Amino acid sequence: MKIDIIGSVGAGKTTLARKLSDYYRIPYYEKDDIVWVRDDSGDYKRSAEDRDALFQAILAQDNWIVEGSPRKVLQESFDKADVIIFLDVPSRVRLKRLLVRWFRQRRGKESYHVFPDFAALGQFLRWHRQFNRDRSMLLKNLKQYGKKVQVCLSSQEALKILDKKQSE
């Protein structure tokens, strides 16, 4: 099975990908980790060649889950996916999750890739607003993928849809 999970920051993409990975026993990959190298000395962007080679190696596998914001450079997975889950969680829910995550990271209760300072919070809020502005265009662009696109208001809804697809 090949699953692409997209949505805004705070939609629950990573949590859903982990659950599905455990349930179906297939690997999941965060698109951020395809674009960025996570290193003890700090994160840095992969070269386009390294990023594309890594992404192609993932897509060549028989089964995978990729999750992340719908980056233009990583949309080839839409063509290759059996199902595209668009986690279209309401804006207020995503905003609350974003703030709770930031506070938990500030208190050392949750791990992070970017130090949870006020600049990072500002960036997360900008991404949140930008996604809200781009949402209708994303939905329009996803129409080309037909029935493989599943717009879900929650992770629970996505799980039910995937269970139904598996039993067909």
pLDDT tens digit sequence for 74-114 = 888 999 999 999 999 999 999 999 999 999 999 999 888 77
Pairing of strands 28-30, 149-152: unpaired
Domain boundaries, the chain: 2-167
Task: Give the whole-angstrom CA distance, residue 45 versus residue 126.
Answer: 20
Report yes or no: 63 and 24 within 8 Å, Cβ to Cβ: yes
Q: CA 113, 117, 121, 126: dihedral to nearest 10 degrees?
A: -90
For domain 2-167, is the CATH number 3.40.50.300?
Answer: yes
pLDDT tens digit sequence for 103-130 = 999 999 988 877 889 999 999 999 999 9
Please state the pTM of the whole predicted model.
Answer: 0.91
DSSP assigned state of 29: E
pLDDT confidence tier of residue 154, bands split at 50, 70 and 90: very high
- Cα atoms found within 13 Å of the Cα of residue 92, Cβ hemisphere only: 0
Sorted by sequence, the CB contacts under 8 Å of residue 44 that are 6+ apart come out as: 36, 37
Task: Give the whole-angstrom CA distance, residue 150 versus residue 135.
Answer: 15
The tokens for 39 are: 């290193």
Q: What are the helix (H) ranges across the chain?
A: 13-24, 31-35, 48-59, 76-80, 91-106, 118-142, 155-167
Does position 73 have pLDDT exceeding 80, yes or no? no
